[in-house]
Amino acid sequence: MDASREEEIVARLSRIENAVAALQRSVDELISQRRGASAPGPAATSYAPPLPPPSRAYSSRTSDTAGRDAPPPRATESDDFGAISAWLSSRSPEWWLSRLGVGFVVIAILFLYSYGVDQGWITPLVRVLLGAIVGTALFWGATRTPDDTKTRAGFGMRAIFYGGALATWYVTAYAASVWYGLISITAARLLYLILALVSSWIALQERREIFAFIAVATGFATPFILPAPVTSYGPFALYLGVVGAIGLFIYLIRGWQTTIWTTFLAFWMILSETLSTSGTVPSARGSISLSVLLVLAGVAFTRAASLRRQLLAIGSPRYTAAPGGEITDRAMEAMDAFSKILGGAKSSADSLVLWVMTLLSPIIAVSLLAGIWTSIPTEVSGLILFGLGSAALSFGMSKFTDREFRQVVFTAAALWTLLGIIKIAPDPERLALSAVHAALVLAYVRNALIGPRAIAKVTIVVVLAALVGSEFGSVRVGLLRWRWVASDLVTIAASALISQKLMADRAERIQGVVLIVLTYLTSLVVIFAVLQPIWAPLVTTTYALLGAGLLIMSRRRGGERLLLQLGGVTMVIVVARLLLVDLASVETIWRVFLFLLIGGVFLYAGYKL
Of residues 21 and 438, more confidence is placed in: 438
pLDDT digits (tens, 9 = 90+) for 238-248: 999 999 999 99
51 neighbors 29 (Cβ within 8 angstroms): yes
- Spatial separation of the C-alpha atoms in residues 515 and 385, rounded to whole Å: 28
Of residues 100 and 442, more confidence is placed in: 442
CB neighbours of residue 497 within 10 Å:
19
Burial 26-54 (b: 16+ CB within 10 A, else e): eeeeeeeeeeeeeeeeeeeeeeeeeeeee
Instruction: Specify the pLDDT at position 150.
Output: 55
Half-sphere exposure of 315 (CA within 13 A, CB side): 0
pLDDT at 532 over 50: yes
pLDDT digits (tens, 9 = 90+) for 213-252: 999 999 999 988 988 777 778 888 999 999 999 999 999 9
Instruction: Specify the pLDDT at position 590.
Output: 78
- Spatial separation of the C-alpha atoms in residues 572 and 55, rounded to whole Å: 92
Of the ranges 371-375, 454-458, 588-592, which one carries the lowest mean pLDDT score?
Answer: 588-592
Containing 278, the helix (H) or strand (E) segment is none
Of residues 290 and 38, more confidence is placed in: 290
pLDDT band at 480 (very low <50, low <70, confident <90, very high): confident
- What pTM does this model have? 0.74
Mean predicted lDDT score pLDDT of the chain: 81
Helical spans, DSSP H, in 39-144: 60-66, 77-90, 93-119, 124-144
pLDDT band at 33 (very low <50, low <70, confident <90, very high): low
Single out the residue of 433, 452, 435, 432 nearest to residue 444, CA to CA.
452
Choose from 99-108, 156-165, 351-360 the range with maximum mean pLDDT: 351-360
pLDDT digits (tens, 9 = 90+) for 154-206: 457 788 888 888 988 998 898 888 888 888 998 999 999 999 999 999 999 98
Instruction: Specify the pLDDT at position 280.
Output: 47
pLDDT band at 340 (very low <50, low <70, confident <90, very high): low
- Spatial separation of the C-alpha atoms in residues 492 and 213, rounded to whole Å: 51
Single out the residue of 275, 139, 268, 158 nearest to residue 208, CA to CA.
158
Cα-based distances in Å from 163 to 156, 188, 199, 540: 11, 19, 9, 78
Instruction: Specify the pLDDT at position 125.
Output: 87
Of the ranges 72-86, 348-362, 532-546, which one carries the lowest mean pLDDT score?
Answer: 72-86
Element counts in the chain: helices (H) and strands (E): 23, 0
State whether the Cα torsion 219-221-223-227 is positive or negative: negative
499 neighbors 519 (Cβ within 8 angstroms): yes
pLDDT band at 337 (very low <50, low <70, confident <90, very high): confident
Containing 123, the helix (H) or strand (E) segment is none
pLDDT at 57 over 50: no
pLDDT band at 287 (very low <50, low <70, confident <90, very high): confident
pLDDT at 62 over 90: no
pLDDT at 344 over 80: no
Q: Which residues contact residue 127 at a Cβ distance below 8 angstroms, ignoring those fewer than 6 apart? A: 117, 175, 180
51 neighbors 30 (Cβ within 8 angstroms): yes
- Please tell me whether residue 484 adopts helix, strand or coil conformation: helix
pLDDT band at 332 (very low <50, low <70, confident <90, very high): low
pLDDT at 89 over 90: no
pLDDT band at 100 (very low <50, low <70, confident <90, very high): confident
- Spatial separation of the C-alpha atoms in residues 346 and 100, rounded to whole Å: 61
State whether the Cα torsion 140-145-147-152 is positive or negative: negative
Of the ranges 20-29, 130-139, 143-152, 466-475, which one carries the lowest mean pLDDT score?
Answer: 143-152
pLDDT at 41 over 60: no
- Residues 314-329, mean pLDDT to the nearest whole number: 78
- Spatial separation of the C-alpha atoms in residues 366 and 424, rounded to whole Å: 14
pLDDT digits (tens, 9 = 90+) for 571-585: 999 888 888 887 777
- Spatial separation of the C-alpha atoms in residues 170 and 135, rounded to whole Å: 9
Instruction: Specify the pLDDT at position 64.
Output: 42
- Spatial separation of the C-alpha atoms in residues 383 and 389, rounded to whole Å: 10
CA angle 211, 217, 218 (to 5 degrees): 90
- Residues 437-441, mean pLDDT to the nearest whole number: 95
- Residues 473-478, mean pLDDT to the nearest whole number: 70
